[in-house]
Structure 1
Amino acid sequence: MDGALFPRERAVVAPGAVHVPDWLSPPLQRRLLEACREWAKPPAGLRVVRLPGGGVMTARQVCLGWHWYPYGYARTVVDGDGAPVKAFPGWLAELGREAVAAVGFDAGPDYDIALINFYGEGAHMGMHRDSDEKDDAPVVSFSLGDTCTFRFGNAETRGQPYTDVELASGDLFVFGGAARFAYHGVVRTRPGTAPPGLGLDGRLNVTLRVSGY
């Protein structure tokens, strides 16, 4: 993080959950940001996610490979414009394999789902589990833009115990094994904390998963 007094160090947040600060280089962050801007364009672009109970997520989302909707996957944007979901690129799958290898997991099958969430000012995400996939390969998370407080909990309850982690632009977070189905969420973002040279207002989170379909 720019201006930090001490370097941030890699940390095991829970068995199977690893935070690696600054894993994405600045050029790779810019490449991923430009790709996200293209993916966010319609058709099958950035959308508001509406929950079955009538609520809406404050983070907006676009999907690659498979389209996620509460609570399943489809090949078209069934809760939006109905367009075919955008393709999952091979270079992003390779980046996912490199990420899991960097924290000591077996690379396993190729990643074929990306959920990309954009957090504007005031956006957050409640505690939830990533459990709609048929494969339990580790989830890979890349952060771009503003720093957020990421809450990582346990597999039994949305409540304590949990650990709050500051995720900054370029950070990698991987959770698999015993932590694969742990509850997690974004408590808040800190507007204006993105690297000045990145050119992003807000936060993008790119999470990679293996569908098992």
Structure 2
Amino acid sequence: MDGELFPRERTEITPGAVHVPDWLGPERQRELLDACRDWARPPAGLRTVRTPGGGTMTARQVCLGLHWYPYGYARTAVDGDGAPVKPMPGWLAELGREAVMAAYGHPPSPGAWERPGPDSDPGPDSDPGRNPGPYPYPYAYDIALINFYDGDSRMGMHRDAEEKSGAPVVSLSLGDTCVFRFGNTASRGRPYQDVRLRSGDLFVFGGPARQAYHGVPKVLPGTAPPGLGLTGRLNITLRVGGLGTAPD
């Protein structure tokens, strides 16, 4: 926002979790918004997500690369129209790598991408989707979840736990400002920190923060940049699945 008394600065919220304000400029925001509108069209377009308990998520969603549903991935929109999921564009995967560089200042070491225990990542040589790109990262971003929030939408505290890769999660915000609640790895409760994410902001969490609970308790209607042409909030979340081939 122009004319602020204290300009917002890059902040490490907790080790591995970094907020980079105003990372996307106005033109890049508009380009990304146009792409989101194309992805939201059917087939495999924007849909309401239904939970196993019979409820519905208030934020609507469309997926690229692989289709997320509670709580797994598939190649088709299994809880939507059943159509094949749209592909993950190479330029969007590259944006994910650029985001990690912007947040951390350097490529993470290979060990930072691993998940401990029996679900640990098998390593770059065993993943057919390996594509380091211009940076020496073991994997390419291959999944995008795009969530649309209107003024009444919320997202409960949850972890991004369906991926086998420990690569950092990249979150990009467009439109209305939201309150983003970033918590701990042990429970949905305190301690947590509330961060206001504005249009163009970047948030990356990996390493010790990769399995932290997080959510969106509030969206602030009417706070989107006037020139963007968006009512509501879009969140583009980029992930590395490490899944090989997902089931139908």
What range is the shorter-chain TM-score in? over 0.9
Deviation at 1:25, TM superposition (A): 1.0
Q: Which amino acid aligns with 2:101?
A: A
Identity of aligned residues (%): 74
Deviation at 1:4, TM superposition (A): 2.9
- 8 Å CA contact retained: 1:2, 1:195: no
In the other structure, the counterpart of 2:68 is 68
What CA distance in whole angstroms lies between the structure 2 residues aligned with 1:68 and 1:95? 20
In the other structure, the counterpart of 2:82 is 82
Tell me, yes or no, if structure 1 residue 134 matches structure 2 residue 140. Answer: no
- 8 Å CA contact retained: 1:153, 1:183: yes
Q: Which amino acid aligns with 2:29?
A: Q
Residues 135 and 4 of structure 1: CA distance in aligned 2, closer, same or farther (over 3 Å): same
Provide Cα deviations, 1:81-128, integer angstroms capped at 9, x if missing partner: 000000100000000000001122424310000000000011010000
Larger % of strand: which? 1
Deviation at 1:134, TM superposition (A): 1.1
Provide Cα deviations, 1:113-167, integer angstroms capped at 9, x if missing partner: 0000000011010000000011110000000000000000000000000000000
User: What's the secondary structure of 1:103's corresponding residue?
Assistant: helix
In the other structure, the counterpart of 1:100 is 100
Tell me, yes or no, if structure 1 residue 192 matches structure 2 residue 222. Answer: yes
TM-score (norm 2): 0.84
Tell me, yes or no, if structure 1 residue 15 matches structure 2 residue 15. Answer: yes
Structure number with bigger Rg: 2
In the other structure, the counterpart of 1:173 is 203
Tell me, yes or no, if structure 1 residue 157 matches structure 2 residue 179. Answer: no
What CA distance in whole angstroms lies between the structure 1 residues aligned with 2:74 and 2:32? 24
Q: Which amino acid aligns with 2:157?
A: M
In the other structure, the counterpart of 1:112 is 142
Tell me, yes or no, if structure 1 residue 43 matches structure 2 residue 73. Answer: no
Once superposed, which parts of structure 1, at least 4 consecutive aligned residues long, lie more than 3 Å away?
none
Q: Which amino acid aligns with 2:62?
A: V
Aligned length: 213
What CA distance in whole angstroms lies between the structure 2 residues aligned with 1:108 and 1:175? 17
User: What's the secondary structure of 2:61's corresponding residue?
Assistant: strand
CA RMSD of aligned residues (A): 0.8
User: What's the secondary structure of 2:157's corresponding residue?
Assistant: strand
User: Which residues of structure 2 form unaligned runs of 5+?
Assistant: 109-136, 244-248
TM-score (norm 1): 0.98
